[in-house]
């Protein structure tokens, strides 16, 4: 288990605020935490340099822009040594939004966003199943995204 890389309570509070609303201005965060906006700026730079903050992306509701099918693929590789090559190919497929390397039955787990089941079928047949190194896949279609939430950071002080 990794240490919390020099995080203190202020860092955690800043992260918690931003995980709930990444558009909030530093000046507003500073007021909420009773510190200067310069302090927030310095802390943000530190968190970015430590690669704790990767980015601040906008979350879009896929169904509102015509992507009604969320699917997950359990991917079996021909050989685990082919992982890097398969990942490079998956990165070229715009419908693939997430990819994980796993222990257990599957070598990989992939999230896809598609317009409908015909679009999903086409992506599977014409793109994913043609990737050299993929032995087979199992597809799971999500019926509903029940919730999504930011992680809770707990400082590990002993």
Q: What is the pLDDT of residues 81-110, one digit of tens each?
A: 999 999 999 999 999 999 999 999 999 999
Alpha-carbon distance of 114 to 106, in angstroms, equals 22
- The confidence score (pLDDT) of residue 78 equals 96
Alpha-carbon distance of 137 to 127, in angstroms, equals 12
- Fold of the 9-49 domain: Arc Repressor Mutant, subunit A (1.10.10)
> Where in the chain do CATH 3.30.70.920 domains reside?
62-141
Mean residue pLDDT of the chain comes to 92
- Tell me the CATH number for domain 62-141: 3.30.70.920
Our CA angle for 147, 152, 157, nearest 5°, is 165
- The confidence score (pLDDT) of residue 1 equals 39
- Name the band, by pLDDT with cuts 50, 70 and 90, for residue 5: low
Q: Which residue has the higher pLDDT, 6 or 134?
A: 134
- The confidence score (pLDDT) of residue 158 equals 52
Helices 26-33 and 9-20 cross at an angle (nearest 10°) of: 130
Least confident piece of the model among 37-46, 87-96, 108-117: 37-46
């Amino acid at each position: 288990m990794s240490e919390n890389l020099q995080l203190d309570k202020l860092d955690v509070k800043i992260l918690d605020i931003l995980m709930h609303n990444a558009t909030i201005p530093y000046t507003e965060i500073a007021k909420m935490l009773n510190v200067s906006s310069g302090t927030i700026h310095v802390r943000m730079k530190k968190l970015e340099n430590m690669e704790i903050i990767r980015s601040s992306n906008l979350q879009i509701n896929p169904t509102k822009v015509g992507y009604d099918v969320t699917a997950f693929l359990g991917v079996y590789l021909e050989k685990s040594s082919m992982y890097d090559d398969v990942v490079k190919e998956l990165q070229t497929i715009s419908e693939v939004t997430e990819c994980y390397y796993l222990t257990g039955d599957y070598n990989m787990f992939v999230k896809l966003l598609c317009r409908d089941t015909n679009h999903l079928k086409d992506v599977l047949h014409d793109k994913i199943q043609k990737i050299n190194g993929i032995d087979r896949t199992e597809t799971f279609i999500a019926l509903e995204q029940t919730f999504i939430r930011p992680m809770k950071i707990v400082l590990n002080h002993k």
